[in-house]
Structure 1
Amino acid sequence: MLQEIVGFIVSTSGWVLVSSTLPTDYWKVSSLDGTVITTATYWSNLWKACVTDSTGVSNCKDFPSLLALDGFIQACRGLMIAAICLGFFGSIFALVGMKCTKIGGTDKVKANIACFAGVNFILSGLCSLSACSLYAHRITSEFFDPMYIAQKYELGAALFIGWAGSVLCIIGGSVLCFSIADSCSKSRSQVKYIYRGAPSHSHISSHPRGQATSVNQRLPPDYSSPPGSQHFDKNAYV
């Protein structure tokens, strides 16, 4: 139960960070490398491009067309939305499948639900990790390209938040999956131990009557012989 609670807290925290990354403004910020006087700062995210002048006034422009966008921006949008949806369903399934909650059915059903929640969190972390890495790769490739003469950008704060949230989602989902595996292995070992340790209560004696036998293998006295001819040993109960 403690492992499930820790995994739920870690993975949910990562999902919150991933969700906050999507509307964050600073996915990329204009680079100051090689400039002496800066009159404007350019920055953009997955939805708009903005410029801030030296007086602090910002002007933004939303991306007008979805089909006219670059392919990597469309891919990042889809991956981030998928990551948020997977994390949302993973948090609900984790609440239902944890042992500390009273809903979800039997322990076996709750274990399957919690394992499914862990898989959702892992997939959510992988999707957001892929989106942030793809966006960062585009920025770094343009920055280090000597033939690229347009405005160069640097990594924004949103990418680092997304990477941190992705790692937390993957770690929390893995903890949920491993906690279910440990509980299943412990329950199987307990059942196996009980089965092997059960004593046998039925013994049939094959020793002659005159030989010494154990208490469980002692034969009852023969009441079919005439009275007076019965012989009871000292261990017999009358």
Structure 2
Amino acid sequence: MTTSTQDWPGQYADTGVFVCFEGGEGGGKSTQSRLLHDRLVAAGFAVRLTHEPGDTPVGKEMRRIVLSPETGELAHKTEFLLYLADKSEHVETLVRPALGRGEVVITDRYVDSTLAYQGAGRALDRDELEDVSRWATGDLRPHLTVVLDLEPSAGLARFEGRDRIEGEGLEFHQRVRQSFLDLASRNPGHYAVLDARAPIDEIAVQIWERVEPLLVQAARNAS
């Protein structure tokens, strides 16, 4: 593909709010996404909490293949394409419909994880991966991506049993971390990079401060 990543304008849904949690292993994405979900539900919002890979029937099969240690080695491009199949199905059958209904969609991982893990981690060409990933998702982008940043050695220490990706070496995870930070620096208006070492409640407050204005804007769009 010849399209530069700079040529992608990006598409942000006109209805609903799309929030993504990204970052390396052990940064607390699941915890913070759940806390945000619970706060929004308590406030009366319709919310869909989801994740990649594996939150569709097709995705469950993709997740089993790409994460199970029993799978063994996969060609890097094969791994990328399996993740991409999950991503495309996820967006078309779950994310877009929920946004179309005006819901808040919170996803634990999205396109940036593919660019970081398969791009930087596996040393595949990130521009090519981004072009294909944007095509597969219709270039639907989160209104906000929260990157929970943590030194990889600290994050990995939080795990006992590791899947195929978590079991990669420290240098792999350091490349992944830097890729997330690089992606955030390209579009700071739609990213929040937070220190994952901070207390859980403090991080949750910082996230809410970024999400609340999006809720106000979504309400205006719907009126």
Please tell me whether Structure 1 or Structure 2 has the larger radius of gyration of its CA atoms.
Answer: 1
TM-score range, shorter chain: under 0.3
Q: TM-score, normalised by structure 1?
A: 0.26
Q: TM-score, normalised by structure 2?
A: 0.27
